[in-house]
A and B are shown apart, each in its own frame.
Chain A
Amino acid sequence: GQQLNQSPQSMFIQEGEDVSMNCTSSSIFNTWLWYKQDPGEGPVLLIALYKAGELTSNGRLTAQFGITRKDSFLNISASIPSDVGIYFCAGHPSGSARQLTFGSGTQLTVLP
């Protein structure tokens, strides 16, 4: 089945630094979503992307739907301690009734 390759697996950054993570797929996706999961909680939607080339911001977060429809990235600017958590990309494959496929997650640690 379709798989999403998410990288990096983990990141340690200093507070104030910018962060970038991405997801790639071997097949085309119709939708790209980015979720954040805090410890002991379920994933919470950050940004949803529906069109190739779409660039969307949510505060300090910016995500793009790759023009090839096979990738997406998430940027976080000026990181703060509450950005700590696991970030998941998720996508809905094209031409399929299958539901959201999730990446393996990026564990972000922000050091003071």
Chain B
Amino acid sequence: DARVTQTPRDKVTEMGQEVTMRCQPILGHNTVFWYRQTMMQGLELLAYFRNRAPLDDSGMPKDRFSAEMPDATLATLKIQPSEPRDSAVYFCASGLSTRVSSGANVLTFGAGSRLTVL
């Protein structure tokens, strides 16, 4: 089965440290999304890439978060410096879309990276 691979699965770090989460999207998918899940806010969209270009990162705190796609097989989400309020599960998802506003962009999610910032 094709799947989205995320690393690390779990990360515990101290406040102020840099955190990098990685995602390998499904081969052939041209869209990549980063979501954050917390009990209070549910699933929140952080950033969205299409054909490796960032199209929407309005949900991401710009001062400390950054998302990139160095190549088609790797997406990264970096937090620097990390804060306790960043503790959450971060999901990467990929999909295939032929139009920016396509209504048929079905996403496949990775298993998530659980981040705990002490």
Interface residues in chain A, defined as those with a beta carbon under 8 Å from any beta carbon in chain B: 30-31, 33, 35, 40-45, 48, 50, 88, 92, 94, 96-100, 102-105
Contact = CB atoms under 8 A, between A and B. Distances in A.
Given A41-B112, A105-B42, A99 B103 contact: no
Interface in B51-89: 55-56
Interface residues of B, number: 23
Interface of B: 4, 33, 42-43, 45, 48, 55-56, 91, 93, 100-112
Given A42-B91, A102-B43, A105-B42, A94 B109 contact: no
Contact of B103 (A44, A50, A102, A105): A50
Contacts of B109: 35, 42-44
Contacts of A92: 102-105
Contact of B42 (A31, A33, A98, A104): A104
A74 to B, nearest CB: 16
Contacts of B100: 97
Contacts of A104: 42
A53 to B, nearest CB: 15
A contact face: mostly helix, strand, loop, or mixed: loop
Given A102-B42, A102-B43, A94 B112 contact: no
Nearest to B108: A45
A99 B106 contact: no
Contacts of A100: 33, 45, 105, 107
A31 B110 CA distance: 21
A92 B110 CA distance: 20
